[in-house]
Chain A
Amino acid sequence: MHGRLIHKSDILKIVDHLRKSFIVYAPFVGRGRDSFFDEVTDKNINTIAIHVANPYYPPKRFVLPHIQKLFKITTGDAPAIEPVEQDEKIAVFGMRSCDVEGVFHTDRFFLGNAFGDGYYEQLRKNLFIVNMVCTDTGSDIDEDCFCVCADAGPATKAHFDLQLMDLHDESGDFIAVAGTLAGEELLSLPFFHNASPHHVARRKAVLSEVRKHFKTATSWYSAATNFITRGKISDATWKKVGDRCLECGGCSYVCPACTCFTVTDRPTGNNTFDRVRVWDSCALSGFTRMAGGHNPRKAVHDRRNRRFFRKLGHYFIQREFTMACVGCGRCVRVCHGDIGMPSVVEILRRETAGTVSKEIL
């Protein structure tokens, strides 16, 4: 592996350098556990958090914005539909491995199928990703993280431009690896210095130590995929999952791999509209409601199994190369009904094993 070293006191120089050509976003600490990605300014640059709990609001929004203008529409006698371009260049500093894998999944979804999404491609092309490996078991990783089970972390193998990892030794060095040519260019900047085989070995040692600290084990993932794909999960089981859903849609909004959106025309004047796309969620009852009110998926459990079909169905894994779950643990944290991914995998395991424990009945 071709690695370079950077001292922790020089880390923010990367941000400074990126700010010359990008709008840079980085994680900051809020109150309590709360953290968020915000635009880096001269004022806040020194408060960028290196070891921090992953923000709930995923960096997916830099490729698939929460609300995105697609067209400006003018109606009247000579109507016109004008595409809205977004050409700002954004760099995200400190994106976690799970979210990097999330971006890879959405890449495959929006660009890898028959219809390529130009809006997504434009944002993706202009995005620079500095991946920070989660190594601090006190802050980076919490009890809901399960990226090890989803093959997404703690250190993703690709799909970033630059990857940084704290070596946690007395030298205070971080090891840096480039994932693209653009990332490689950065490594030649003067604040990077050479790494030795000792540092590469240290990187390995840190990673294998970190792996021991993941508490959620969803080792039954592959079997869950198998059972879901073959339609072997009974309606009664899905009903149990559905009964716990409060239909808030939170799981979709925090998920780095969820892609559903709705499209709506918003009036901006007497005869002008903005056609915007907005994140949508299969948990919401109107998601499949058709004109006239007919809804093929009326019951909440019909909608809940949809989420897991889409995420774990073999057909979709083949299409997108990865399952639509990166193990970030956000759905676990936001779900009021405790049906985040690991809980559901666990419910499926128990139900299919025929041994239903009392607490989930």
Chain B
Amino acid sequence: MSCKKENIYLPGIAVVEEVRDEIRDVKTFFWHFEDPVPDKSFRSFMPGQFAMVSIFGAGEIAISLPSSPTEDRLFFTTRRVGSSTGMMHKLKPGDRFAVRGPYGNGFPMKQYEGRNLIVVAGGIGLIPLRSVIIYALHNRSRYGKIQVFYGSRTPKDLMYMENLKQWQADKGFECYLTVDKAEDEWEKNVGVVGSLFKQPGVEMPLDNTTVFVCGPPIMFRFVLADLTKMGFKDGNMVSTLERYMKCGVGKCGHCCIGQAYVCTDGPIFTLEQIRMLGEVI
């Protein structure tokens, strides 16, 4: 295990295939590894895992994987917020960057087999949960009822529009959308994500259900309060934590909270575990 032979910090060179504008300040980058060997091994990741992405000249950042291992194409979706994502948003098809991973525990999708899945996402919180939805739909027969509740600020801030349209049309599961502020031609619900739970016709099974929650801190807190009031147990609610990370492999110490490293012990935790960690969101 010298740094030449087996190097946990060595990323593989990746090529941008295509760049898509998702919503304002958010872009999706389709990519693959230059070398087919890491490309093949990388694709065995689980929903909820993440990768360390090097943007040359800016540094290395942790980014979640929105694609599902059941899909053909790999991609990242990022919002332009800092210097690295700023540089990332300048990438064009054919440009090179570097990736290592996948890291983190991921959602234990095998363990959830036979259960009902409820996905609650707010804004760009849909990015890590998209993987769960696609994965579950691909293996539809293994899961019970599947419900998706997704909210954003305005109709223009709804992400993965193509998927949303497909999901709305899909009879195999339920997908509810809401926006905080409606604009013209919006016929669906207006209000926070939690308001969807009380819509007529929405029946959320309490028993044998796992709830996935991801979104901005304020949405997170309100949704959790709603769900708890409805009777969902902390151990059955899961989320993915976001922390500043410099290594992804439990060494740099930045993501360490309470008694866990978010990168190796997480980023997926049940609400029960999150409460134990002490430091929230």
Contact = CB atoms under 8 A, between A and B. Distances in A.
B254 A296 contact: no
Contact of B251 (A79, A81, A110, A296): A110
Given A81-B10, A118-B8, A310-B253, A291 B3 contact: no
A116 B254 contact: no
A121 B1 contact: yes
A260 B58 contact: no
Interface stretch (B81-89, B141-149, B195-203, B230-238): B81-89
B98 A81 contact: yes
Contacts of B251: 109-110, 115, 117, 259, 261
A262 B242 contact: no
Interface in B251-281: 251-260, 264, 276, 278-281
A264 B251 CA distance: 15
B140 interface: no
A79 B259 contact: no
Contacts of B58: 265
Contacts of B258: 309, 313
A237 to B, nearest CB: 13
Interface stretch (A67-75, A129-137, A201-209, A332-340): A67-75
Interface residues of B, number: 49
B246 A83 contact: no
B81 A292 contact: yes
Contacts of A143: none
Given A261-B251, A296-B243, A291 B61 contact: yes
Contacts of A75: 56-57, 96
B259 A313 contact: yes
A290 B9 contact: no
Contacts of A119: 3, 9
Contacts of A316: 259
A122 interface: yes
B13 A81 contact: yes
Contact of A306 (B83, B96, B244, B256): B256
B111 interface: no
Interface string A304-344: 00100110011110000000000000000000000000000
Given A79-B13, A231-B278, A290-B244, A273 B1 contact: no
A218 B206 CA distance: 50
Contacts of B249: 114-115
Interface string A250-270: 000000000111111101000
Contacts, number: 138
B245 to A, nearest CB: 9
Contacts of A15: none
A297 interface: yes
B56 A73 contact: yes
Contacts of B243: 288, 290, 296
B171 interface: no
Interface of B: 1-11, 13, 54, 56-61, 81-85, 96, 98, 242-244, 246-247, 249-260, 264, 276, 278-281
28 contacts: A73-B54, A75-B96, A79-B13, A79-B56, A83-B3, A83-B4, A83-B7, A110-B251, A114-B250, A115-B264, A116-B8, A122-B3, A259-B253, A261-B253, A263-B59, A263-B60, A273-B56, A273-B57, A280-B252, A280-B254, A287-B254, A288-B244, A288-B254, A291-B85, A302-B279, A306-B256, A306-B257, A316-B259
Given A288-B255, A292-B81, 18 more contacts: A71-B9, A75-B96, A81-B11, A81-B54, A85-B2, A260-B252, A263-B252, A265-B56, A273-B57, A288-B243, A290-B242, A290-B243, A291-B61, A291-B81, A291-B83, A296-B243, A302-B279, A310-B253
Interface of A: 70-71, 73, 75, 77-81, 83-85, 109-110, 113-119, 121-122, 229, 231, 259-265, 267, 273, 275, 277, 280, 282, 287-292, 296-297, 302, 306, 309-310, 313-316
